[in-house]
Amino acid sequence: MKFKHLILGCMLALGFSACSDNDEYEPGPVWGDGITVKSEVALDGATAQTLNMKAPSSPTLATEAEWLHIGSPEAKEAGIYSVSLQGDINPTGETRSATIAISAGQHKATVNVTQFAGKAVIISAIEPSETLRPEGGSVTIKYAATENPSVSVPDWMRVATDGGRALTDGTLVLEYSANTGKEARSGEVVLTINATANATVTLTQEPKPMSAEIGSTAKELAAKMYAGINIGNTMECPGKEGDWSMPVNEAYVAALPGLGFNAVRIPCAWDSHVSDEANNTIDPAWLDRVDEVVGYVIGNGMYAILNIHWDGGWLENSCPDGWNEAIDKKQHDYWTQIAEKLNHYDEHLLFAAMNEPNSNENNNVGVDAIMRYQQTMLDAVRATGDNNASRVLVMQMPNTNIDQGTNGYYHMPADVVDDRLMVEAHFYDPYQFNMMETDANWGKVFWYWGADNFVDGSDRNCFNHSEESVRQQMQKIKTAFVDKGIPAIIGEYCVCVDRSNAASIDKAKHQASHRLWNRVVTREAKNAGCVPFFWETGGDINRRDGSVIRSYQLDGVMDGAAEGSYPF
């Protein structure tokens, strides 16, 4: 075991989180006819300490140590007994130990007592081992401390249980994800009382073996994705992660499966993280960080889609002007580096070539540029070989607009492997309900969507868009792509503006409108063969711990995910 401990002065029972003058107790674990008591006690000098136990009758305690004094058992309730322990001043100042024998009728137990010269925190056991399972799991650290210690853990672990009952030894249960990286990783768990009293445990984890090949086709992979979510306004912030929200942490990612999601889209900036512009070199530290976040997602059992996002518009805003050699080289160089860095992931990782590539609706110059840039991305990724030779890749419709992508002109790039492409659209219709923030001279903001949610006499009802409107748009994707063997994703969708606090609004009807819209879009997307990825930026889910903020939004997504069924 790799751990150390240092000591300084006060006394407490091992794993007992109360101060020395606190004789309160908590119920112990389920017990039969025996004695329930902690196995270790730490004394800090000559300060009195209380030992609690559960026994079928009044216990007898004895020790051969002359320096250790045991008080008379005091009955509490429900078979709980409290005993005072106190040691003489240790003339040598060195640590010494003794054993207390406890009996209650035919039942026996022993408690080891250690007297320290000062404050102390020590590790008594690591179960099952300080070597963690590559596929993820939990580890229990049993400890003793003269005060309740603070705990720090690596960011790829989280504290599931901290502390111990008054009748049992202190425990720290940590949960950790699979190691999806190429190398073993290690981290320190530190239990601290003060600057000189701490215990450190070094835990190591080998990488999880990844599949030697990526076997699922795009349709097979899409069928495995139940419901998706975006980590929006985070990794795609130009220059600094989380400038528009907060950086990603694993506690947030680890909470997503419990909310019903098993796929995550990671919008990501790259052009603003270049360390050598002359050679289009991405900062290695940024590649490491993206690798880490992808690992959070896949390590928690979900699928990840990683893209090149807006990032100042260097790529997508240039498309209407036609193909550009310098832009194309960036697309090639960036995707080569991204693909090489992340090649170790199995089919749980998908790459998306662009985000919302702009096009000129008056001619096809922009669409031609988009298709050439997507071919460049595909060729660059495939050239890196190994898992990337057959990894599923996602291509974006012009403007990720359903009508522009299904009018017959736009087409997918040529691939060297069959059935490994998906197509992407975004969906924010109708604008007046989803995104419009203030009234205009041509129309008002809509508050209510769906006939059952309309408010009589209100000019805020959305009469010109319905469930059938959603179905018709999704079916266009099915006809143009899904029926031809190319599954799709709705990479972004949400009601972006929440007006719940607007004056004179019917809040219940408005929130019911959100829920219904999310439900219908999610359902109709899946029915048409499109994997739904809800756009979320921290307003619906707490980015610190993954707790729910606006349940009516997520409830709608999950309603639709349960009702929808892929046609493959």
Amino acid at 220: E
**How big is the CA angle at 502 (ends 492 and 559), to the nearest 5 degrees?**
40
Domain shared by 297 and 269, yes or no: yes
Instruction: Answer yes or no: are the C-beta atoms of 113 and 58 closer than 8 Å.
Output: no
Question: Residue 471: helix, strand or coil by DSSP?
Answer: helix
Q: Provide the pLDDT for residue 338.
A: 98
**In this structure, is residue 294 part of a structural domain?**
yes
The domain spanning residue 21 has which CATH number? Answer: 2.60.40.10
**In this structure, is residue 100 part of a structural domain?**
yes
Q: Provide the pLDDT for residue 362.
A: 75
Per-residue pLDDT of the chain (568 residues), as tens digits, is 444 333 333 333 333 333 333 344 443 333 345 899 988 888 888 888 899 999 999 999 999 999 999 999 999 888 999 999 999 988 887 889 999 999 999 999 999 999 988 778 888 899 999 999 998 899 999 887 777 889 999 888 888 887 655 566 778 999 988 888 778 999 999 999 887 778 999 999 998 876 555 889 999 999 999 999 999 999 999 989 999 999 999 999 999 999 999 999 999 999 999 999 999 999 999 999 999 999 999 999 999 999 999 999 999 999 999 999 999 999 999 999 999 999 999 999 999 999 999 998 778 999 999 999 999 999 999 999 999 999 999 999 999 999 999 999 999 999 999 999 999 999 999 999 999 999 999 999 999 999 999 999 999 999 999 999 999 999 999 999 999 999 999 999 999 999 999 999 999 999 999 999 999 999 999 999 999 999 999 999 999 999 999 999 999 999 999 999 999 9
**How big is the CA angle at 192 (ends 188 and 194), to the nearest 5 degrees?**
140
Domain shared by 141 and 227, yes or no: no
Domain boundary among 184, 209, 234: 209
Instruction: Answer yes or no: are the C-beta atoms of 510 and 207 closer than 8 Å.
Output: no
Instruction: Answer yes or no: are the C-beta atoms of 548 and 541 closer than 8 Å.
Output: yes
Q: Provide the pLDDT for residue 211.
A: 59
Phi, psi of 366 (to 5 degrees): -65, -40
Instruction: Answer yes or no: are the C-beta atoms of 455 and 461 closer than 8 Å.
Output: yes
Domain shared by 205 and 224, yes or no: no
Domain shared by 439 and 559, yes or no: yes
Range of the domain at 172: 1-209
Instruction: Answer yes or no: are the C-beta atoms of 208 and 134 closer than 8 Å.
Output: yes
Domain shared by 259 and 398, yes or no: yes
Domain shared by 268 and 184, yes or no: no
How is residue 464 written in tokens? 């010109």
The domain spanning residue 339 has which CATH number? Answer: 3.20.20.80
Task: Give how far Cα 472 sits from Cα of 255, 476, 520, 557, Å.
Answer: 34, 7, 12, 19
Domain shared by 174 and 259, yes or no: no
Domain shared by 337 and 196, yes or no: no
Sign of the alpha-carbon dihedral angle for 223, 227, 230, 231: negative
Residue-wise DSSP of 297-350: HHHTT-EEEEE---GGGTTGGGGGG---HHHHHHHHHHHHHHHHHTTTS-TTEE
Instruction: Answer yes or no: are the C-beta atoms of 521 and 434 closer than 8 Å.
Output: no
Residue-wise DSSP of 214-250: ----HHHHHHT---EEE-TTTTTSSSSTTTTS----H
**In this structure, is residue 568 part of a structural domain?**
no
Task: Give how far Cα 64 sits from Cα of 50, 100, 340, Å.
Answer: 19, 8, 67
Domain boundary among 181, 209, 237: 209
**In this structure, is residue 33 part of a structural domain?**
yes
Domain shared by 333 and 409, yes or no: yes
How does DSSP classify residue 459?
Answer: T
- Token pair 């903001």 is at which residue? 445
Neighbouring C-alpha atoms within 13 Å toward the C-beta of 293:
24
Domain shared by 44 and 142, yes or no: yes
Nearest to 105 by CA among 66, 85, 79: 79
Please tell me the total count of domains within the chain.
2
Which residues partner with 427 through β-bridges?
Answer: 493
- Token pair 């512009």 is at which residue? 277
Domain shared by 161 and 283, yes or no: no
Domain boundary among 164, 179, 209: 209
Neighbouring C-alpha atoms within 13 Å toward the C-beta of 342:
30
pTM of the full predicted structure? 0.77
Instruction: Answer yes or no: are the C-beta atoms of 20 and 104 closer than 8 Å.
Output: no
Render the burial of 17-39: b for 16+ CB within 10 Å, e for the rest. Answer: bbebeebebeebeeeeeebbbbb
Domain shared by 296 and 368, yes or no: yes
Which residues partner with 281 through β-bridges?
Answer: 276
